[in-house]
């Protein structure tokens, strides 16, 4: 540590005549310097030409007493011309050796000054050596140290700092211990077998976690199926997607997605499936702790991932936003023909999105259903008498959903229309208001729709319906670097769009008018599923399957008879394959190559429900 040197004016004035330099040194544990080292070197060597210092030689120094103390006014070598007297005031923290040496030297000097003329007798020299032995530390391990040689000075702030550090370390250790206890069952999942054996010695909480039996979630067999519809092999695009994820023994994720939109439907479904699987499996601990919040964020991330993927797919796309409504994507496209049959280009909104239905089974105890669109999740079973049962877990977000109509009208009053899809393009509103202002199904419009030959879309007597998004005129600024008319500043008319659902991912122009990516959720305790049913199954499927069958018909074909034994995984697959092939064949008979894509995941819940009953 650097020396702190300070000289007051009064001391400097009194010491100036004597040529004295007074140094105040703050020393923290420095080793004792020998003469001629460090800063003492300038004071131990006289300048050139100065007279030699008077005094005994080094050989005689051991026989003669040191010079008398300052109060005896004895002449010193520093009084000679060219010499300087240095007085050091040292504040020492924790230094022992130098203090003991100075004390011993002071004692020896006082004994020596008592002799006549400063000469040491044999008795005095013997007394001096005895004093040195008494004051210096003993080298005998069996002899206890005497005197004040082990005195150490510490300040209160040092002690307080050390005590605070010890207390902080103790508190941190307790927090780490509690955290380890709380997360032990999660930590051991990612460890290999040899590491688990080693971890048994770390914490009692880990031992408990390692002794927990396997989660029933890991024992959920499932069968997946997908087909483009029709005969197959005709080059038809399959816009459906699905995935199954098991990021841990406590979490299993099933999902079915149905893309729509000629140009970007497939891209939307595949992008959303990839994004959601990555997100949910990567955040499975959060999914286990707060499933609803984690699922909502997964849907949101997938929605924006679709937007980014579409923008990357074509350089002639631009993102447009006006006001506070969400932005949407415009594309330079041919929307009409002139009188010569040449295409007319303009900026118009792209269409394309996807439905999503996700079911997350947690610890084999609860199933969390989150959905947007019309890809339904249906619980299939039989009651105690063997009668088939079915329950749609979340209602489809179709134009006939009254709650969705009320929600969207609150966002875009008077602009969005919910109508039947008439072949002659007549528009009959699905809902109306009664005399009390309450919204209800318009039976008169339904009758008119039947008269105009609106078709039924499934065996549940649901008619084809549409949500009509109004057209919008917008102003566009100039695009630098874009050639021809596409880059010029202009006004354009965004044509109206029609969509068959009120919630979806993608579909960015309809999202300006109330269509949302926000999923509808439901928590299904599996313990309640097994109270009044046998062999429960869960089927997630796109509307290409649900448009062919009634829910109870599906239950009758997939759920084993009540009197049968539990079906094995091979039996489950055989029943599922038979059902899906029959669905494809019926769709081809009804619609030919216009039949919709078919995708489904059949999950066997029987083992999980049976374990909860025990």
| pLDDT tens-digit readout, 75-112 | 444 444 544 445 555 554 445 555 555 665 565 555 55
The number of CA neighbours under 13 Å toward the Cβ of 220 is 35
> Per residue in 3-49, pLDDT tens?
444 444 444 444 444 444 455 555 454 555 555 554 444 444 444 44
pLDDT, the chain, mean: 77
The model carries a pTM of 0.65
Task: Write down the pLDDT at residue 135.
Answer: 55
Do residues 152 and 96 make contact, with C-beta atoms less than 8 angstroms apart? Answer: yes
Q: How far apart are CA 366 and CA 250, in angstroms?
A: 11
Q: How far apart are CA 278 and CA 504, in angstroms?
A: 19
DSSP state of 373: S
Residue 39 structure tokens: 């800063």
Q: How far apart are CA 351 and CA 533, in angstroms?
A: 43
Task: Write down the pLDDT at residue 529.
Answer: 83
The number of residues making up the chain comes to 614
DSSP state of 48: T
Average pLDDT over every residue of 68-76:
47
Q: How far apart are CA 140 and CA 381, in angstroms?
A: 91
Mind listing the domains of the chain with CATH numbers?
9-135 (no CATH), 162-211 (no CATH), 216-613 (3.60.40.10)
Give CA torsion, residues 447, 453, 456, 460, to 10 deg: 30
Most confident of 122-131, 184-193, 326-335, 352-361: 352-361
Looking at the chain, the whole-number percentage of residues with pLDDT higher than 70 is 65
Matching residue, tokens 């007798």: 121
Nearest CA to 580 out of 559, 552, 554 is that of 554
The DSSP result for 193-237, as a single string, is: HHHHHHHTTT-HHHHHHHHSPPPGGGG--EEEEEE-STTS-S---
Which is more confidently placed, 474 or 212?
474
Residue 570 structure tokens: 């091979």
Task: Write down the pLDDT at residue 51.
Answer: 46
**Which pLDDT band, with edges at 50, 70 and 90, does 116 fall under?**
very low
**Which pLDDT band, with edges at 50, 70 and 90, does 165 fall under?**
confident
Q: Which residues contact 340 (CB under 8 A, 6 or more apart)?
A: none
Most confident of 144-148, 215-219, 577-581: 577-581
Q: Which residues contact 603 (CB under 8 A, 6 or more apart)?
A: 220, 221, 222, 254, 359, 361, 537, 538, 539, 540
Strands 431-433 and 417-420: unpaired
> What separation, in Å, do the N-terminal and C-terminal C-alpha atoms of the chain show?
74
Task: Write down the pLDDT at residue 488.
Answer: 85
Q: How far apart are CA 176 and CA 167, in angstroms?
A: 14
Task: Write down the pLDDT at residue 187.
Answer: 62
Task: Write down the pLDDT at residue 361.
Answer: 94
Average pLDDT over every residue of 52-66:
47
DSSP 3-state of 505: strand
> Per residue in 312-346, pLDDT tens?
998 889 898 887 888 999 998 887 777 787 888 88
Q: How far apart are CA 41 and CA 35, in angstroms?
A: 7
Do residues 462 and 474 make contact, with C-beta atoms less than 8 angstroms apart? Answer: no
Which is more confidently placed, 241 or 340?
241
Task: Write down the pLDDT at residue 16.
Answer: 47
Task: Write down the pLDDT at residue 3.
Answer: 44
What are the beta bridge partners of residue 242? 256
Looking at the chain, the whole-number percentage of residues with pLDDT higher than 90 is 34
Q: How far apart are CA 322 and CA 320, in angstroms?
A: 7
Matching residue, tokens 């520093």: 78
Average pLDDT over every residue of 565-570:
73
Q: Which residues contact 459 (CB under 8 A, 6 or more apart)?
A: 547, 548, 549, 550, 553
In the chain, % helix, strand, coil (3-state, to 5) comes to: 40, 25, 40
């Amino acid at each position: 540590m650097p020396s702190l040197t300070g000289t007051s004016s009064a001391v400097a004035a009194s010491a100036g005549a004597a040529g004295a330099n007074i140094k105040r040194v703050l020393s923290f544990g420095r080793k004792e310097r020998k003469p001629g080292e460090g800063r003492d070197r300038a004071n131990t060597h006289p300048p050139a030409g100065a007279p030699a210092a008077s005094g005994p030689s080094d050989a005689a120094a051991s026989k003669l007493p040191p010079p008398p103390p300052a109060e005896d006014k004895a002449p010193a070598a520093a009084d000679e011309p060219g010499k300087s007297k240095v007085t050091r005031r040292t504040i020492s923290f924790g230094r022992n050796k130098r203090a003991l040496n100075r004390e011993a030297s002071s004692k020896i000097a006082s004994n020596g000054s008592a002799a006549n003329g400063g000469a040491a007798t044999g008795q005095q020299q013997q007394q001096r050596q005895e004093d040195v032995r008494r004051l210096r530390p003993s080298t005998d391990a069996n002899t206890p140290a005497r005197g004040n040689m082990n005195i150490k000075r510490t300040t209160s702030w040092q002690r307080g700092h050390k005590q605070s550090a010890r207390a902080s370390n103790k508190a941190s250790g307790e927090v780490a211990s509690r955290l380890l206890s709380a997360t032990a069952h999660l930590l051991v999942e990612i460890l290999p077998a040899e590491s688990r054996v080693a971890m048994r010695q770390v914490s009692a909480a880990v031992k408990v976690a390692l002794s927990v039996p396997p989660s029933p979630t890991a024992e959920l067999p499932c069968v997946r199926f997908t087909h483009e519809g029709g005969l197959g092999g005709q080059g038809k695009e399959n816009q459906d997607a699905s995935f199954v994820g098991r990021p841990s023994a406590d979490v299993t994720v099933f999902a079915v997605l149905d893309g729509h939109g000629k140009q970007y439907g497939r891209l939307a479904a595949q992008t959303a499936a990839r994004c959601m699987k990555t997100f949910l499996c990567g955040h499975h601990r959060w999914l286990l702790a707060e499933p609803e919040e984690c699922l909502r964020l997964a849907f949101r991330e997938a929605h924006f991932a679709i937007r980014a993927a579409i923008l990357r797919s074509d350089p002639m796309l631009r993102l447009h936003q006006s006001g506070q409504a969400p932005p949407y994507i415009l594309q330079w496209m041919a929307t009409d023909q002139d009188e010569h049959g040449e295409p007319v280009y303009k900026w118009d909104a792209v269409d394309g999105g996807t439905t999503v239905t996700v079911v997350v089974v947690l610890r084999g105890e609860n199933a969390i259903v989150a959905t947007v669109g019309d890809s339904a999740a249906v619980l299939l079973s039989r009651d105690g008498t063997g009668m088939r049962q079915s329950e749609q877990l979340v209602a489809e977000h179709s134009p006939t959903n009254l709650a969705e109509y009320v929600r969207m009208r609150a966002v875009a009053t008077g602009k969005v229309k919910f109508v039947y899809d008439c072949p002659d393009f007549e528009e009959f509103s699905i809902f109306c208001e009664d005399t009390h202002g309450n919204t209800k199904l318009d039976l008169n419009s339904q009758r008119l729709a039947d008269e105009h030959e609106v078709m039924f879309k499934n065996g549940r007597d649901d008619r084809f319906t549409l949500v009509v998004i109004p057209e919008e005129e917008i102003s566009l600024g100039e695009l630098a670097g874009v050639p021809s008319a596409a880059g010029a500043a202009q006004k354009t008319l965004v044509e109206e769009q029609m969509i068959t659902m009120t919630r979806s991912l993608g579909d960015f122009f309809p999202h300006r008018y109330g269509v949302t990516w926000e999923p509808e959720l439901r928590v299904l305790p599996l313990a309640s599923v097994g109270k009044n049913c046998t062999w429960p199954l869960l089927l997630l499927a796109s509307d290409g399957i649900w448009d062919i069958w009634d829910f109870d018909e599906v239950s009758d074909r997939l759920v084993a008879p009540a009197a049968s034994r539990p079906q094995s995984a091979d039996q489950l697959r055989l029943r599922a394959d038979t059902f899906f092939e029959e669905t494809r064949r019926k769709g081809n008979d009804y619609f030919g190559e216009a039949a919709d894509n078919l995708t489904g995941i059949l999950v066997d819940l029987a083992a999980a429900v049976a374990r909860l009953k025990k």
